[in-house]
A and B are shown apart, each in its own frame.
Chain A
């Protein structure tokens, strides 16, 4: 299923900002809010995983039902998960298309990756020193 990919703030994402190594931040940013009808079309239950494929790559997210999200669009809190699929082009404005890329959605059984795994996949080195 194709959908318009929208990103933005949520208060849970905002609360996680100061402690991104903690599980709350991962939970807050790895969700994909979808209209209940779209969720049904994909034969997904809330809490199951969805593979989102965008212009820059793919990422696995947890599907969350949200009546406010119009059909044909998904809302993902800003963060490393959303950015895994967004292209870096800015059309000469400096601003990437955080709110207007088209993605493909399909159900998956794979697990959501940890933020550190996402960073390692692009050449980073996880720092585990201060995770309590």
Chain B
């Protein structure tokens, strides 16, 4: 069977033009997706955990859904400070149920944002977000900047759908008419096709952004001959390119958010864009990794007022990244139970945090056997959203998209499982 206009549930591009062919319960062909998306869709049916598993006296055994749900509700109810972490590769509906449950439990809910674009949000909270939709970029932008990111590897269709290789309504020959600036600490494949490739010394982004701001402001006299390995000539050229553009779009990745300076780097980038808006139209968009990590920020914000790292232990929503973020809570050995949903801290958290996860009762809700599996006491497999479950996901520019279902493999969705756990918790906390 051929399914058209399907959505790719991998990265924040949420490409919506996939053609997927299935035979029975197998995906046999995926058209239009990039290698990451087609790899996920071709394989996500194959590597599923068959049923819930639980750790029992040093061994793994199969369990039923009822037993696993009962166990999860039990450890969350018993805990003084449960941590509910993850929420990036799941539906908005599941995220909403998670927030309600965290509130009722007086726990902490955090998403993978805290280790990807959390710093971007901190910067946006300080100075605002000059953003726009990807459609605007595609149709209008004649200058694209990628800073501290590598779309060729991490968002492979970003350039062909929205920027360099995408036809635009207001551009006659999109590829020729668009200029491309790449800023990175190492020369990647993306860098080799750029009109300007700026190689910054590691940790030098803040200085380079400041130098560009000075130049745009007309104060090139204060800029030294080189800034973090970048020559003043190149900076002058780049600033001129930016000012001449009719519509510039800056995209940035974790190269800015994870490097020294963290959210201050992003703040400086936003302020550069602000500076450029005195001359022309310029926008800025974080390149979000997981397909619905943006959704977790949206859902948490409508429900609690805060985008991630929300702590309900004071009976009101409290937010203080660096204190209420998952890595910090785990490193301080503060939580006494954890529910991990649709994310893999086992692969992405520092070792010290994982040691604490193994010390406390931890439950994982994830379709696949992941790096987190060995660390938990119980894993509940669910359907993959965008494959055997439908739901809402937010693209990296904040546009909500209905992610479709095209297979039925008999697994419950994340929303169903979380709602069931929530019901059990409610029976005890709000009988």
Contact = CB atoms under 8 A, between A and B. Distances in A.
A126 B374 contact: yes
Interface stretch (B16-24, B185-193, B219-227, B419-427): B185-193
Most chain A beta-carbon contacts within 10 A, residue among B49, B347, B370 = B347
Interface in A75-132: 75, 78-80, 83-84, 86-100, 115-116, 119-120, 122-127, 129-132
B40 interface: yes
Contact of B347 (A20, A73, A86): A20
B350 A4 contact: no
Contacts of A90: 322, 325, 327-328, 331
Nearest to A124: B374
A124 B322 CA distance: 26
B69 to A, nearest CB: 20
B323 A92 contact: yes
B368 interface: yes
Given A68-B187, A75-B186, 17 more contacts: A6-B185, A8-B255, A17-B40, A20-B370, A67-B187, A68-B188, A78-B348, A84-B351, A87-B352, A88-B350, A93-B118, A93-B122, A94-B119, A96-B115, A98-B254, A122-B355, A124-B375
A47 interface: no
A130 B258 contact: no
Could you say which interface size class chain B belongs to? 35 or more
A63 to B, nearest CB: 16
B153 A10 contact: yes
B257 interface: yes
A94 B325 contact: yes
Contacts of B326: 94
Interface string B304-338: 00000100000000000111011110110000000
A14 B36 contact: yes
A56 interface: yes
Contact of B369 (A6, A80, A98, A127): A127
B55 interface: yes
Interface of A: 4, 6-11, 14-15, 17-22, 29, 56-57, 66-70, 73, 75, 78-80, 83-84, 86-100, 115-116, 119-120, 122-127, 129-132
Interface of B: 10, 35-36, 39-40, 43-44, 46-50, 53, 55, 58-60, 114-115, 118-119, 122, 150, 152-154, 156, 185-188, 191, 199, 201-203, 254-255, 257-260, 262-263, 289, 309, 321-323, 325-328, 330-331, 344, 346-355, 358-359, 368-371, 373-375, 379
22 contacts: A9-B289, A19-B43, A19-B47, A20-B347, A21-B369, A68-B187, A70-B185, A73-B185, A75-B186, A92-B321, A93-B122, A93-B322, A94-B322, A95-B327, A97-B260, A115-B371, A119-B374, A119-B375, A125-B55, A130-B47, A130-B369, A132-B47
Contact of B358 (A14, A67, A124): A124
A129 B53 CA distance: 10
Contact of A125 (B58, B199, B327, B351): B58
A100 B371 contact: no
B255 A99 contact: yes
A129 B330 CA distance: 28
Given A6-B185, A125-B60, A127-B373, A95 B36 contact: no
Contacts of B331: 88-90
B40 A18 contact: yes
B257 A95 contact: yes
B303 to A, nearest CB: 20
B321 A94 contact: yes
Contacts of B373: 127
